[in-house]
Amino acid sequence: MQSRTPSSPRTGRPRSAAADEAILEATRAALVELGWSKLTLGDVATRAGVAKTTLYRRWAGKNELVVDAVAVLFDELELPDRGSLAADIEGVVLQFAALLDRPETKTALMAVVAESTRDEPLRERIRTSIVDRQKRLVLEGRARAERRGELPAAPDPGTAAATADLIFDVAAGAVVHRTLVSAEPVDGEWVRRFTALLLGGLAAAAD
Amino acid sequence: MQSRTPSSPRTGRPRSAAADEAILEATRAALVELGWSKLTLGDVATRAGVAKTTLYRRWAGKNELVVDAVAVLFDELELPDRGSLAADIEGVVLQFAALLDRPETKTALMAVVAESTRDEPLRERIRTSIVDRQKRLVLEGRARAERRGELPAAPDPGTAAATADLIFDVAAGAVVHRTLVSAEPVDGEWVRRFTALLLGGLAAAAD
Amino acid sequence: MQSRTPSSPRTGRPRSAAADEAILEATRAALVELGWSKLTLGDVATRAGVAKTTLYRRWAGKNELVVDAVAVLFDELELPDRGSLAADIEGVVLQFAALLDRPETKTALMAVVAESTRDEPLRERIRTSIVDRQKRLVLEGRARAERRGELPAAPDPGTAAATADLIFDVAAGAVVHRTLVSAEPVDGEWVRRFTALLLGGLAAAAD
Amino acid sequence: MQSRTPSSPRTGRPRSAAADEAILEATRAALVELGWSKLTLGDVATRAGVAKTTLYRRWAGKNELVVDAVAVLFDELELPDRGSLAADIEGVVLQFAALLDRPETKTALMAVVAESTRDEPLRERIRTSIVDRQKRLVLEGRARAERRGELPAAPDPGTAAATADLIFDVAAGAVVHRTLVSAEPVDGEWVRRFTALLLGGLAAAAD
DNA sequence: TGCTAACCGAGACGGTACGTCCCGTCTTGCG
DNA sequence: CGCAAGACGGGACGTACCGTCTCGGTTAGCA
């Protein structure tokens, strides 16, 4: 999250470990209440019962803090075995949609992505903290489908990776667009239609 | 763009039409130079050679101004007839990707979408100014494909509309996600793979 | 009050005479309600049912307008004959104090005087519109007292003028200071003490 | 000058003492250069090398700031023993006139008094910071004159206080009126005539 | 009776200052 | 040396008025 300079290894009062979690929790609460654009670091510090200095000692700014505060929520995503590839996909898409529907993520995710278009370190932080953790779900799903015999083994590693990336962009992008731009619900009906489209496309592409 | 209350129809000095375009142009320039988060309305006013008050008289805030400034760019999208549905899709997706790669849209689009999660009028403005104008491309493409016989006629209007919405969310979402989140290029290769996936899915869903 | 440039003598629509009085009346009302510092010309124009341009066509600014609006009040001061110099003085001092106690004059008079310290034309306007009109009361009172035999005739015109100026500064200054700075009432008791002081001093100085 | 709420007695970074004096000095300089009505707090802050927020943290507004900036000048007034009551009075009146002739006081004093007619706390601040400190000169002069035998001892405390107030309003009012309203010089000649009037009146009143 | 020039209302214009909010940094004294 | 507190220099905010400038429309007096 943040690095201690290793120059002065252990002298003086150590940092409070409890403060970290209090700050992240306060950040999420402030996101829910105020939204991204009205969230201020001074307010977060007050909510966490912490001085502003403490906060700045640990995070470089609002973007980094919010990424950390929200990232942990994405670790809840799982890929439970529902017996078929279609069911697995539907399950994880619904989970993802539910996560995106929470007010803290809804207001924060697109905001930090927008910021990241002009801030390479921030983009990297988002990738490692959030995006790549979702991508594993695609890989895991594919592997499970191959074990079940629902999909043929990947012809070669390059194509497999490109396909995984494509699926990831399509699935995550579609859910995000439907939720935030179209502002329509991602319900069972929509998920079934989307999954049918995706699996149909994969099957056709495999020919 | 912004409406005059029709209460006082035609009295007083009329608003300068030239100022409007100068302001929108200045806004785009500032977006390119500074990005969304460092853009200030005072700076836009200065660039446009206009007083800050003039700007506030016409737009409610940064969000509304940026939506209007960027919206006109999306009207450039077209659906030229390339002879086949696949080629048509590839062409429009590449156009859309090129548009999203411009620095003004890249930094602004996700930002205003993020803001719109807590601002219903803003969402509506985005929808009418930007999103719905793109959706026509989907409908036009479908109609053309039907005329060519590449796709069967829609079984019923409701299903057709739902399918159009789905395609729109998938296509726009995938391109946006690839460009802004994954930060990978939307090149010919990717577009071919995506189009194949989409058309394969549509064919399978039509069975 | 305000001068028409005599270049174009009499053509076109003449200025509305009614507007002038409406503006001055609105100015006084605004002074009572808002005080000097919160009075705005736009507000005065609105109250008078007049366009801002009309107002600026006739007065150079807030200072000049307020001087004109208040000046007329000072013309109410009179020096009724009460039979003795002391009684005459007490009467006029009480009148002046009552005038200074009105909210329009209280808030405006010192304000324009303060402005006039850096604005010579304004000072001249104040002098001719307000101050000199009061000074005549002193001269009139002296003349009457001489006719009554209460005061000896002036030894020479220069001394007489200097004495009149001194009395004027002492009397007006004392009342203004008591009213606005000390913020104590100018009541009968105070006026008697002041008049006794003044007449005693004049008698002593005449020896 | 301004009071810290004693709720949080001694925590956080203390206010810079140097800033206070820099701000007041800058205020006086701005008064000389620009006059009351063109003085802006932003400009004062810039001159003092201080942020606008620092200034607003310590003073409620322009009025309060100017009162404090000017008040210190009035503490320079003294009542040096010149051997007789008349000489003492002439000396202090000349001092007061010289003070009122300085551009900072000339432009500021009437302005804040004008504002104070609609702002009771401001009037109180003027009284305690400026007016009451001058009144001591009257009391001191009277005491000294009694010691010298030039004036009889006060008959009773109430009358003595009322007389002191009257003398104060007359003397301060006359000098202010002559300087700011009549805009004539307070020279030796005028002061002699005024002092003769005042002392003659006092002697007559004591009978 | 019709011209014409100056008036009028309304309100947008470029501009200045306001007083507030938040930024990210810097002292303080305490633990 | 970390920490809570809070003042610091700084920058942008959105608002209020300033005094000026178009507008379309009115209202005299002269022809």
Residue-level pLDDT, tens digit, chain D, 207 residues:
454 444 555 789 999 999 999 999 999 999 999 999 999 999 999 999 999 999 999 999 999 999 999 999 999 999 999 999 999 999 999 999 999 999 999 999 999 999 999 999 999 999 999 999 999 999 999 999 999 999 888 778 888 899 999 999 999 999 999 999 999 999 999 999 999 999 999 998 776
Q: What's the CA B30/C1' E19 distance, rounded, in angstroms?
A: 27
Distance B19 CA to F22 C1' (A): 15
C40: which nucleotide lies closest, measuring CA to C1'?
F17
Whether D and B touch, i.e. at least 3 CB pairs below 8 A, reads as no
Give the number of other CB atoms < 10 A from CB of residue C51: 13
**Closest residue to F26 (CA, C1′):** C13
A198–B196 C-beta distance less than 8 A: no
pLDDT value for B4: 46
Query: Hey, are the CB atoms on A115 and B162 less than 8 Å from each other?
Result: no
Nearest nucleotide to B60, CA against C1' atoms: F14
pLDDT above 60 (res A113): yes
User: A107 and B114 in contact by Cβ < 8 A?
Assistant: yes
Single out the residue of B176, B181, B145 nearest to residue B163, CA to CA: B145
Proportion of chain B above pLDDT 90, given as a percent: 87
C149-203: pLDDT as tens digits? 998 887 788 889 999 999 999 999 999 999 999 999 999 999 999 999 999 999 9
Q: Which residues contact C141 (CB under 8 A, 6 or more apart)?
A: C79, C85, C88, C89, C92
Query: Terminus-to-terminus CA distance in chain C, angstroms?
Result: 45
Nearest 5°: CA angle at D62, between D59 and D68? 60
Alpha-carbon span A117 to A125, nearest angstrom: 12
Q: What is the secondary structure of B111-141 as a DSSP string?
A: HHHHHHTT-HHHHHHHIIIIIHHHHHHHHHH
Give chain A positions within 8 Å (CB) of B174: 166, 169-170, 173-174
Of C115, C126, C200, the CB nearest to D37: C115
Residue C198: both structure tokens together? 């003044």
Q: D203 to chain C: nearest residue by CA?
A: C200
Protein-proximal positions, strand F, CB < 7 A: 1-30
**C-alpha span between B67 and B116 (Å, rounded):** 11
**Cα distance between residue C200 and residue D202, in whole Å:** 7
Largest CA distance in chain D: 64
- Cβ of residue B15 lies below 7 Å from strand E: yes
- Amino acid B29: pLDDT: 98
> What does the alpha-carbon distance between residue D173 and residue C180 come to, in Å, rounded to a whole number?
10
Question: Cβ distance A86 to A200 under 8 Å?
Answer: no
Structure tokens at C100: 């200074």
Q: Which residues contact D88 (CB under 8 A, 6 or more apart)?
A: D79, D80, D81, D82, D141, D144, D145
User: CA D3, C1' E8: Å apart?
Assistant: 54
What residue type is B98 in one-letter code? A
Q: What is the DSSP string of chain B?
A: -----TTS-S-SSPPPHHHHHHHHHHHHHHHHHH-TTT--HHHHHHHHT--HHHHHHH-SSHHHHHHHHHHHHHTT------SSHHHHHHHHHHHHHHHHHSHHHHHHHHHHHHHHTT-HHHHHHHIIIIIHHHHHHHHHHHHHHHHHTSSPPPS-HHHHHHHHHHHHHHHHHHHHIIIIIS-----HHHHHHHHHHHHHHHHHHH-
